[in-house]
Amino acid sequence: MLSDWLYVGIFLVIATFLPFVAITLAGILGPKKPNRLKSTIYECGIETVGETWVQFRAQYYIFALVFVVFDVETVLLYPWAVAYNQLGLFAVAEAVLFVLILFAALVYAWRKGALRWF
Amino acid sequence: MNATLVIEWVVKSLVIILVLTGGFAYTTLYERKVLARMQVRRGPNRAGPLGILQPVADGIKLIFKEELTPHNADKFIFTVAPVITVVPALVITAVVPWGREISLFGRTFTLYLSNVNVAVLYILSVTSISVYGITLAGWSSNNKYATLGGVRATAQMISYELALGCAYIGPILIVGSMSLVDIVEAQAGVWFIFLQPVAFLVYFLASLAEVNRAPFDMPEAEQELTAGYHTEYSGMKFALFFMAEYIKMIAVAMIGVSLFLGGYLGPGIDRFPILGPVYLFIKVAVWLFVIIWVRATLPRIRYDRLMALGWKVMFPLALLSVMITALVLLFVES
């Protein structure tokens, strides 16, 4: 079991190697003739106006918050699903209850307008 | 744990990475060819017979391109972001089985890199990491369109990840294991697409959203966001983003095939285990064809609708599918 993770580790190291080699190789082989105009950012042809790194809308934040709640709860269903065959009726009833609570939370977030994009 | 064993796994890793990068190159050609045929064109046909050298030509061109970095960008993150995007895309495939055991040179090899017993959880967590790369790329470019593209990508991916996570639960419930090898072997009788049609549909749609493919390619909607998060990228760094997208496409196809379409199983697999990778390849090619077909057919959907579809349709549907599966299993067993 532990060795299986070792193989994933070997794979990770080799996989990390690939993009680094690619970027380094391109950095050596590619031409470098920088000038002022080339290194400006491309938006639509005219010079950019104002800061880019400003605060963006709070709607993303609310979605992220709702996501965290549901993601943690969904991951709780994984061990339940694996052990399902050995659990019996009680665990099923519990899981149904759990998912019903999840649904209630979703409906609550929905009614509160957290899922509305405006 | 001896030296030959380590060498064996290093060779396996290298083979998988080579197959994936080669697969990436030829998926681009495949897509261009199929799209061209669907639009009554011919597609690339100048480089080599039938255009088969086109990906090589593209690769050489991208290596010799000048790389531009905007003068006001965050230089370090700008360079690291493509790496963060491409590495998880490659690493997901470590747990996907390619076949059973084969004998070669008097030794027995297993045709998978690693049979981790939490493979599905591993896939779920590793796919989430590549979102960071896209968001950081958008943010570090210091370009308004790129920033918007990066933020949109994050919001979209987290919305569809819930549905994706629930779609995985169906097969796990039936098999009682998270290992992909066990899940594939359990499909020797009947493929899970027939037992889990709703989960399959949810998986297919959510995986399209996860890899930012049409009709969910909001982060790079060219009409409104120039090119989205990779507007400022050029040369090899751009190629890495492109590579990440296509390798993720191949990866979700491989995972979907393993979960719902019987993975490497097929007629005659018991007598000739070497057929495993062949069946996997054919199924993945068909899956990729459907993805390209969807791109050729459907227009991009509006962003608010995309979020609504993820939260208000797919996620409840996937949860419902999990519950029904659990109840049916209970009745079947008792």
* Residue B5 neighbours by CB distance under 10 Å: 12
**Max intra-chain CA distance, chain A:** 71
In 3D space, the residue among B136, B133, B124, B131 whose CA is nearest the CA of residue B154 turns out to be B131
User: What is the rounded CA–CA span in Å between residue A72 and residue A79?
Assistant: 12
Name the band, by pLDDT with cuts 50, 70 and 90, for residue B156: confident
How do B101-104 and B107-110 pair as beta strands? antiparallel
User: Does the pLDDT value for residue B221 go beyond 80?
Assistant: no
Q: What is the pLDDT of residues B159-175, one digit of tens each?
A: 888 888 888 888 888 88
Q: Determine whether the interchain pair B17/A18 forms a contact, defined as Cβ–Cβ distance below 8 Å.
A: yes
Token pair for residue A105?
Answer: 């939370």
Q: Which residues pair with B109 in a beta bridge?
A: B102
Token pair for residue B247?
Answer: 């390798």
Q: Determine whether the interchain pair B315/A106 forms a contact, defined as Cβ–Cβ distance below 8 Å.
A: yes
Counting residues of chain A whose pLDDT is more than 70, the rounded percentage is: 93
> For chain B, what is the total number of helices (H) and then of strands (E)?
13, 2
Q: Determine which of A90-94, B3-7, B62-66 has the lowest per-residue pLDDT on average.
A: B3-7
* Residue B45 neighbours by CB distance under 10 Å: 14
Q: Determine whether the interchain pair B66/A33 forms a contact, defined as Cβ–Cβ distance below 8 Å.
A: yes
User: Residues with Cβ < 8 Å from B35, sequence gap 6 or more?
Assistant: B43, B292, B295, B296
3-state secondary structure (DSSP) of residue B104: strand
User: Does the pLDDT value for residue B1 go beyond 60?
Assistant: no
Name the band, by pLDDT with cuts 50, 70 and 90, for residue A1: low
- The letter for the amino acid at B251 is A
User: Does the pLDDT value for residue A31 go beyond 60?
Assistant: yes
pLDDT at B290: 92
pLDDT at B106: 64
Q: Determine whether the interchain pair B169/A33 forms a contact, defined as Cβ–Cβ distance below 8 Å.
A: no
pTM, entire model: 0.87
User: What is the rounded CA–CA span in Å between residue B17 and residue B23?
Assistant: 9
Q: How far apart are the first and last CA of chain B?
A: 45
For B241, the closest chain A residue by CA position comes to A19
User: What is the rounded CA–CA span in Å between residue A14 and residue B94?
Assistant: 12
3-state secondary structure (DSSP) of residue B101: strand
Q: How far apart are the first and last CA of chain A?
A: 49
Q: Determine whether the interchain pair A20/B169 forms a contact, defined as Cβ–Cβ distance below 8 Å.
A: no
For an interface test with B, which of A25, A36, A41, A48 has the most B Cβ atoms less than 10 Å from its Cβ?
A41
User: What is the rounded CA–CA span in Å between residue B190 and residue B261?
Assistant: 9
Distance from CA of B64 to the nearest CA of A (A): 4
Distance from CA of A59 to the nearest CA of B (A): 10
Alpha-carbon Rg for chain B in angstroms: 21
Average pLDDT of the residues in A89-102: 82
User: Does the pLDDT value for residue A75 go beyond 60?
Assistant: yes
Question: Which residue segments constitute the domains of chain A, with CATH numbers given?
Answer: 2-112 (1.20.58)
Distance from CA of B297 to the nearest CA of A (A): 26
pLDDT at B144: 80
Of B13, B113, B235, the CB nearest to A26: B235
Q: Determine whether the interchain pair A26/B10 forms a contact, defined as Cβ–Cβ distance below 8 Å.
A: no
User: What is the rounded CA–CA span in Å between residue B61 and residue B236?
Assistant: 9
For A24, the closest chain B residue by CA position comes to B236
CB-CB neighbors (< 8 A) of B141 in chain A:
41
User: What is the rounded CA–CA span in Å between residue B44 and residue B51?
Assistant: 5
Counting residues of chain A whose pLDDT is more than 90, the rounded percentage is: 0
User: What is the rounded CA–CA span in Å between residue B160 and residue B164?
Assistant: 6
How many contacts does A have with B, using Cβ atoms within 8 A?
208
Q: What is the pLDDT of residues B235-279, one digit of tens each?
A: 788 888 888 888 988 999 999 998 888 878 878 777 777 788 888
